[in-house]
A = this chain, B = another copy of it.
């Protein structure tokens, strides 16, 4: 039967530019093998730290986009020959820099499904499962960490949401705190008409994203107080209390405190319970940033660090660091979703819908900076189900055991010294001869390409600070042999440089 309006052949043929079904199946399977070759062995063949010079990668690629399409094979050839040598390999088990940014099989495959589905979960009605799986998985994750019930979405009013990063989690909670402290007047009238000035508190070891959030929110770096820390780099609650009192006496309004559970430099754990006692007394929003360390709470023996979190207004951690879920995957929970939603809500006509108006659904668009959102919870759902709590616990404990072993080796080395006691899987140490010697060892080890370490500076007892090597253990596939190897490498370079 012929159609009354036959397809315009000339126009419909444009779709032939798409990758065909057979081609997708073939190249897709090749790319699965490509990723498998990379992750299960290949990645260890590359220097961990890229040896590229600035501009060297771009110089190998054409300056203009191709007029006609190229074969998939040609693109993959450039990926292999130009891109791969220009990467620093975070999935190499000899990666001990910064914090891990782990990926895993179930996470990669869930993200592949998410890319294929291509749904938009900005509001419940634009893809209900995208929202409901996320809400459930956030409750699962809260239970896996044994977070207080106030953060669960059932029965509410709390709840969890996935953000891209802890930077965004801190930023949106700061905005909610800003609005709550001013009767939602800043959103309406702007900070210029709000008096008194709002003040934000965190420790001088807090992540740089807090200072960035304060600036973005228009609150002014001058209104951010970096509270002193104790000898183990934990926020001093007495100093916090004193600063809040001074600000109140000066007619200012304390608005937001960010406590860090696991600082970036040394994984120091702020005393959340003592801080919470202060924020409660003054009605200040308490945010807890456990970006890296939070993952450890899947094991009951590490949950003491969360004492006091039951009094926090918000809590965040990153499964994309140490929980085998590839970037980007940040978990944020709030004890009351209303201030967050009220701060970030938008409702243009083109998004109005019956489900939203019924009040029975969550529209995550109102919990974040962007409007659009992909099906990001799928990867966390796959990870929690594939590993089970048991698998996650075993891996976290494994990494802890490796870190203990590494710490023992450093402690036993005649020229090296632990700078601060190990916190979880981070070992901070320095050369007994001082900064120049430490820096020489650091550079020498990184230049071998056989392992990658990062550094920081930490205050010493006399008030000066010290250049410190950070060895952060927790890459998905790290095993005893890698720890043994990196210690031998450090020891070898230390001996070579100390002799000279």
Contact = CB atoms under 8 A, between A and B. Distances in A.
A35 B165 CA distance: 27
Given A54-B361, A388-B70, A32 B32 contact: yes
A288 B92 CA distance: 42
Given A90-B119, A218-B218, A328-B372, 4 more contacts: A64-B143, A65-B389, A66-B389, A86-B129
Contact of A38 (B50, B117, B382): B117
Contacts of A212: 344, 346, 371
A249 interface: no
Interface string A286-315: 000000000000000000000000000000
Contacts of A5: 405, 480, 484
A216 B90 contact: no
A111 B328 CA distance: 12
Interface in A351-396: 351, 355, 358, 360-361, 369-372, 374, 378, 381-382, 384-392, 394-395
A447 to B, nearest CB: 12
A454 B133 CA distance: 24
Describe A's contact surface by its main secondary structure.
helix
Interface residues of A, number: 181
A112 to B, nearest CB: 5
Interface stretch (A189-197, A269-277, A333-341): A189-197
B398 A127 contact: no
A15 interface: yes
A488 to B, nearest CB: 10
Contacts of A219: 190-191, 218
Nearest to A169: B370
Given A87-B117, A191-B191, A75 B133 contact: no
Given A328-B374, A402-B11, A102 B88 contact: no
Contact of A50 (B74, B129, B222, B387): B129
A454 B390 CA distance: 45
A171 B344 CA distance: 13
Interface in A28-71: 28-29, 31-36, 38-40, 50, 52, 54-58, 61, 63-70
23 contacts: A11-B402, A14-B394, A15-B398, A17-B390, A17-B395, A28-B112, A50-B129, A54-B355, A54-B361, A57-B129, A66-B384, A67-B388, A72-B106, A75-B381, A75-B382, A87-B119, A90-B118, A98-B120, A112-B115, A190-B222, A191-B219, A212-B346, A350-B470
B220 A186 contact: yes
A1 B212 CA distance: 53
A88 B58 contact: no
Given A21-B36, A390-B68, A480-B5, A82 B129 contact: yes
Nearest to A298: B65
Given A129-B50, A208-B348, A108 B116 contact: yes
Given A128-B87, A188-B222, A24 B105 contact: yes
Contacts of A388: 65-70
A65 to B, nearest CB: 4
Interface string A92-129: 00000010011111111101110111111000111111
